[in-house]
A and B are shown apart, each in its own frame.
Chain A
Amino acid sequence: EDQVTQSPEALRLQEGESSSLNCSYTVSGLRGLFWYRQDPGKGPEFLFTLYSAGEEKEKERLKATLTKKESFLHITAPKPEDSATYLCAVQKRDNDMRFGAGTRLTVKP
Protein backbone atom coordinates (compact mmCIF):
# COMPACT_ATOMS: atom_id res chain seq x y z
CA GLU A 1 0.00 0.00 0.00
CA ASP A 2 1.25 3.48 -0.85
CA GLN A 3 2.29 5.35 2.26
CA VAL A 4 3.88 8.64 3.19
CA THR A 5 5.33 8.86 6.70
CA GLN A 6 6.83 11.97 8.24
CA SER A 7 9.04 12.06 11.29
CA PRO A 8 9.26 13.33 13.88
CA GLU A 9 5.68 14.37 14.55
CA ALA A 10 6.94 17.40 16.44
CA LEU A 11 10.33 19.04 16.76
CA ARG A 12 11.44 21.80 19.10
CA LEU A 13 14.65 23.64 18.29
CA GLN A 14 16.53 26.57 19.71
CA GLU A 15 17.13 29.43 17.34
CA GLY A 16 20.24 28.61 15.32
CA GLU A 17 20.05 24.86 16.03
CA SER A 18 20.08 23.09 12.65
CA SER A 19 18.14 19.87 12.11
CA SER A 20 16.36 17.74 9.51
CA LEU A 21 12.82 16.55 8.93
CA ASN A 22 12.19 13.21 7.28
CA CYS A 23 9.60 12.05 4.76
CA SER A 24 9.71 8.37 3.85
CA TYR A 25 7.50 6.94 1.16
CA THR A 26 6.52 3.62 -0.35
CA VAL A 27 5.09 4.61 -3.70
CA SER A 28 5.82 2.92 -6.97
CA GLY A 29 6.14 5.13 -9.99
CA LEU A 30 6.88 8.36 -8.14
CA ARG A 31 6.28 11.37 -10.35
CA GLY A 32 7.23 14.04 -7.86
CA LEU A 33 7.72 14.80 -4.18
CA PHE A 34 6.47 18.10 -2.82
CA TRP A 35 7.22 20.02 0.38
CA TYR A 36 4.78 22.51 1.85
CA ARG A 37 4.78 24.83 4.84
CA GLN A 38 1.54 25.33 6.75
CA ASP A 39 0.96 28.03 9.36
CA PRO A 40 -1.83 27.56 11.92
CA GLY A 41 -5.27 28.19 10.44
CA LYS A 42 -3.88 28.67 6.93
CA GLY A 43 -3.60 26.60 3.79
CA PRO A 44 -0.31 24.90 2.89
CA GLU A 45 2.22 27.02 1.02
CA PHE A 46 4.30 25.36 -1.66
CA LEU A 47 8.06 25.17 -1.04
CA PHE A 48 9.77 22.63 -3.35
CA THR A 49 9.26 19.92 -5.91
CA LEU A 50 11.78 17.09 -6.31
CA TYR A 51 11.55 14.68 -9.21
CA SER A 52 14.44 12.24 -9.05
CA ALA A 53 16.85 10.69 -6.56
CA GLY A 54 19.86 12.89 -5.93
CA GLU A 55 18.02 16.10 -6.65
CA GLU A 56 18.37 19.01 -4.21
CA LYS A 57 16.51 22.32 -3.90
CA GLU A 58 17.28 25.28 -1.65
CA LYS A 59 15.37 28.29 -0.42
CA GLU A 60 16.81 30.55 2.23
CA ARG A 61 17.45 28.35 5.29
CA LEU A 62 15.71 25.31 3.81
CA LYS A 63 17.22 22.58 1.68
CA ALA A 64 15.30 19.58 0.38
CA THR A 65 16.90 16.35 -0.80
CA LEU A 66 15.51 13.17 -2.32
CA THR A 67 16.54 9.52 -2.37
CA LYS A 68 14.66 6.52 -3.72
CA LYS A 69 12.94 5.95 -0.38
CA GLU A 70 12.87 9.26 1.45
CA SER A 71 13.27 12.99 1.40
CA PHE A 72 14.85 15.28 3.94
CA LEU A 73 14.10 18.90 4.66
CA HIS A 74 17.21 20.38 6.23
CA ILE A 75 16.80 23.57 8.22
CA THR A 76 20.01 25.51 8.79
CA ALA A 77 20.22 28.01 11.64
CA PRO A 78 16.44 28.26 12.01
CA LYS A 79 14.68 31.37 13.24
CA PRO A 80 11.40 31.63 15.20
CA GLU A 81 9.59 32.59 12.00
CA ASP A 82 10.40 29.14 10.60
CA SER A 83 7.97 27.68 13.13
CA ALA A 84 5.20 25.92 11.20
CA THR A 85 4.00 22.49 10.17
CA TYR A 86 5.92 21.06 7.23
CA LEU A 87 4.07 18.67 4.95
CA CYS A 88 5.41 16.40 2.28
CA ALA A 89 3.38 14.86 -0.50
CA VAL A 90 4.09 12.37 -3.25
CA GLN A 91 2.46 12.24 -6.64
CA LYS A 92 1.97 8.82 -8.16
CA ARG A 93 -0.28 9.62 -11.08
CA ASP A 94 -2.52 12.36 -12.36
CA ASN A 95 -4.57 13.92 -9.57
CA ASP A 96 -3.29 11.42 -7.01
CA MET A 97 -1.19 13.27 -4.46
CA ARG A 98 -0.70 11.59 -1.08
CA PHE A 99 0.18 13.74 1.92
CA GLY A 100 2.02 12.87 5.09
CA ALA A 101 0.66 13.96 8.47
CA GLY A 102 3.34 16.63 8.82
CA THR A 103 6.05 17.66 11.25
CA ARG A 104 5.21 20.48 13.61
CA LEU A 105 8.33 22.59 14.04
CA THR A 106 8.77 25.06 16.89
CA VAL A 107 11.83 27.30 16.99
CA LYS A 108 12.44 29.03 20.32
CA PRO A 109 14.31 32.35 20.46
Chain B
Amino acid sequence: SQTIHQWPATLVQPVGSPLSLECTVEGTSNPNLYWYRQAAGRGLQLLFYSVGIGQISSEVPQNLSASRPQDRQFILSSKKLLLSDSGFYLCAWRGDSKDSPLHFGNGTRLTVT
Protein backbone atom coordinates (compact mmCIF):
# COMPACT_ATOMS: atom_id res chain seq x y z
CA SER B 1 0.00 0.00 0.00
CA GLN B 2 1.02 3.59 -0.51
CA THR B 3 2.26 5.78 2.31
CA ILE B 4 3.33 9.38 2.50
CA HIS B 5 5.87 10.74 4.96
CA GLN B 6 6.28 14.38 5.82
CA TRP B 7 8.73 15.95 8.24
CA PRO B 8 9.30 17.63 10.53
CA ALA B 9 5.95 17.64 12.30
CA THR B 10 6.58 21.00 13.92
CA LEU B 11 9.09 23.73 13.27
CA VAL B 12 9.82 27.10 14.83
CA GLN B 13 12.06 29.36 12.78
CA PRO B 14 13.09 33.01 13.09
CA VAL B 15 12.25 35.54 10.41
CA GLY B 16 14.88 35.59 7.68
CA SER B 17 16.01 32.01 8.22
CA PRO B 18 15.86 29.34 5.47
CA LEU B 19 13.31 26.56 5.27
CA SER B 20 13.31 23.03 3.96
CA LEU B 21 10.34 20.70 4.34
CA GLU B 22 10.53 17.23 2.87
CA CYS B 23 7.91 14.79 1.68
CA THR B 24 8.36 11.26 0.35
CA VAL B 25 5.87 8.75 -1.01
CA GLU B 26 6.23 4.98 -0.89
CA GLY B 27 4.43 2.23 -2.75
CA THR B 28 3.72 4.05 -6.00
CA SER B 29 5.65 5.38 -8.95
CA ASN B 30 5.35 8.66 -10.84
CA PRO B 31 2.80 10.18 -8.48
CA ASN B 32 1.49 13.71 -8.88
CA LEU B 33 2.76 15.61 -5.84
CA TYR B 34 1.34 18.70 -4.16
CA TRP B 35 2.15 21.25 -1.46
CA TYR B 36 -0.78 22.94 0.28
CA ARG B 37 -0.92 25.49 3.08
CA GLN B 38 -3.80 25.59 5.53
CA ALA B 39 -4.58 28.71 7.52
CA ALA B 40 -6.96 28.62 10.47
CA GLY B 41 -10.57 29.00 9.35
CA ARG B 42 -9.66 28.95 5.69
CA GLY B 43 -9.55 26.31 3.00
CA LEU B 44 -6.41 24.61 1.82
CA GLN B 45 -4.40 26.77 -0.56
CA LEU B 46 -2.49 25.02 -3.32
CA LEU B 47 1.11 26.24 -3.45
CA PHE B 48 2.89 23.93 -5.89
CA TYR B 49 2.31 20.74 -7.80
CA SER B 50 4.53 18.42 -9.79
CA VAL B 51 3.66 15.83 -12.42
CA GLY B 52 7.21 14.51 -12.74
CA ILE B 53 10.87 14.89 -11.77
CA GLY B 54 12.02 18.47 -12.19
CA GLN B 55 8.54 19.63 -13.24
CA ILE B 56 7.12 22.21 -10.84
CA SER B 57 4.06 24.40 -11.28
CA SER B 58 3.49 27.33 -8.96
CA GLU B 59 -0.03 28.42 -8.14
CA VAL B 60 0.73 31.37 -5.89
CA PRO B 61 3.69 33.75 -6.35
CA GLN B 62 5.38 34.07 -2.98
CA ASN B 63 8.43 33.59 -0.86
CA LEU B 64 8.50 29.81 -1.33
CA SER B 65 9.85 27.40 -3.91
CA ALA B 66 9.54 23.68 -4.54
CA SER B 67 11.73 21.01 -6.06
CA ARG B 68 11.34 17.38 -7.04
CA PRO B 69 14.80 15.84 -7.20
CA GLN B 70 13.51 12.25 -7.27
CA ASP B 71 10.32 10.58 -8.44
CA ARG B 72 8.83 10.24 -4.97
CA GLN B 73 10.45 13.19 -3.18
CA PHE B 74 9.03 16.69 -2.98
CA ILE B 75 10.73 19.54 -1.14
CA LEU B 76 9.36 22.92 -0.10
CA SER B 77 11.96 25.63 0.50
CA SER B 78 12.48 29.24 1.31
CA LYS B 79 15.66 31.30 1.41
CA LYS B 80 14.29 33.83 3.92
CA LEU B 81 11.15 33.19 5.92
CA LEU B 82 8.56 35.88 6.56
CA LEU B 83 6.13 36.06 9.46
CA SER B 84 3.34 35.47 6.96
CA ASP B 85 4.83 32.07 6.07
CA SER B 86 3.55 30.63 9.35
CA GLY B 87 0.94 27.94 8.83
CA PHE B 88 0.21 24.26 8.46
CA TYR B 89 1.91 22.80 5.39
CA LEU B 90 0.56 19.65 3.84
CA CYS B 91 2.08 17.41 1.20
CA ALA B 92 -0.20 15.21 -0.88
CA TRP B 93 0.01 12.71 -3.72
CA ARG B 94 -2.40 11.51 -6.33
CA GLY B 95 -2.32 8.60 -8.75
CA ASP B 96 -2.44 8.62 -12.52
CA SER B 97 -6.20 8.98 -12.81
CA LYS B 98 -6.87 12.68 -13.00
CA ASP B 99 -10.05 12.42 -10.95
CA SER B 100 -8.54 10.32 -8.18
CA PRO B 101 -8.47 11.81 -4.68
CA LEU B 102 -5.55 13.46 -2.97
CA HIS B 103 -3.85 11.56 -0.16
CA PHE B 104 -2.26 13.77 2.45
CA GLY B 105 0.66 13.52 4.83
CA ASN B 106 0.27 14.56 8.44
CA GLY B 107 1.56 18.05 7.86
CA THR B 108 4.18 20.40 9.29
CA ARG B 109 3.18 23.15 11.70
CA LEU B 110 5.52 26.06 10.91
CA THR B 111 5.77 29.03 13.23
CA VAL B 112 7.92 31.93 12.13
CA THR B 113 8.93 34.16 15.05
A contact set with B: CB distance below 8 Å:
4, 9, 31-32, 34, 36, 41-46, 49, 51, 87, 89, 91, 94-102
**Are A43 and B99 in contact, with the CB atoms below 8 A?**
no
B positions within 8 Å CB-CB of A: 6, 32, 34, 41-44, 46, 49, 51, 57, 90, 92, 98-99, 101-107, 109
Interface residues of chain B: helix, strand, loop or mixed (majority): strand
Count contacts between A and B, CB distance < 8 Å. 54
Taking a contact as CB atoms closer than 8 A, the residue among A36, A42, A99 that contacts B107 in the complex is: A42
**Of A41, A46, A99, which one neighbours B109 at CB under 8 angstroms?**
A41
* Complex contact A94–B98 (CB within 8 A): yes
Contact A102/B104 with A49-B99, A51-B99, A95-B49 known, Cβ cut-off 8 Å: no
Known: A44-B104, A95-B51. 17 other contacts (CB 8 A): A9-B41, A41-B107, A42-B107, A43-B104, A43-B105, A43-B106, A43-B107, A44-B102, A46-B102, A49-B101, A87-B43, A95-B34, A95-B46, A98-B43, A100-B43, A101-B41, A101-B43
Instruction: State how many angstroms separate the Cβ of B28 from the closest Cβ of chain A.
Output: 15
B107 and A32: CB pair below 8 A? no
B42 touches A101 (CB 8 A): yes
